[in-house]
Amino acid sequence: MTAPNQGTRPTSLILSAATRLIAGLMLMFSVFMLLRGHNAPGGGFVGGLIAVTAFALYAKSRGTEEARRTLGLPPEVIAVAGLGCALGAGLVGPLLGRPFLTGQWLVIGGDGHGGGFAISNIVLFDIGVYLVVVGAVLTVLFALEEEV
């Protein structure tokens, strides 16, 4: 079966229907892996690869043009933004008189003896890695898919 707007590109009704559910679940799982990575296995690299897999499935089912539209930004821009996040996270240390890429924690709330909400520049670094992986791999993947 071929879709009229894709020329001779074969499409699968089952793949197309399943992609709607599976890609969304994979993207949610990739964010979960990203956010748990600084305290447990996972992180930006693993989360980014899971997100890329979701977009690869979407591109295979709907076409590269549709996947690019769904992504919203060119993958090259996403990779550069991720590089900026990772670099910004690394520069927090020197701004506070510490070495580059030194983890710094900010505790919001609490009574000084525990509690409160702690956030670190390590999370920003992981987000940067996530965006670099998504942007770089999708750039290559989309280029290869468009040449076929």
Check whether 110 has a pLDDT greater than 80: no
Domain housing 61: 4-147
- DSSP letter, residue 126: H
Amino acid letter, 126: D
Name the pLDDT band for 127 (thresholds 50, 70, 90).
very high
The per-residue pLDDT for 10 is 55
Check whether 64 has a pLDDT greater than 50: yes
Strand partners, 119: 106
Query: What is the pTM for the complete model shown?
Result: 0.84
- pLDDT: is 77 or 123 the higher one? 77
How many structural domains is the chain composed of?
1
φ/ψ of residue 118, rounded to 5: -105, 135
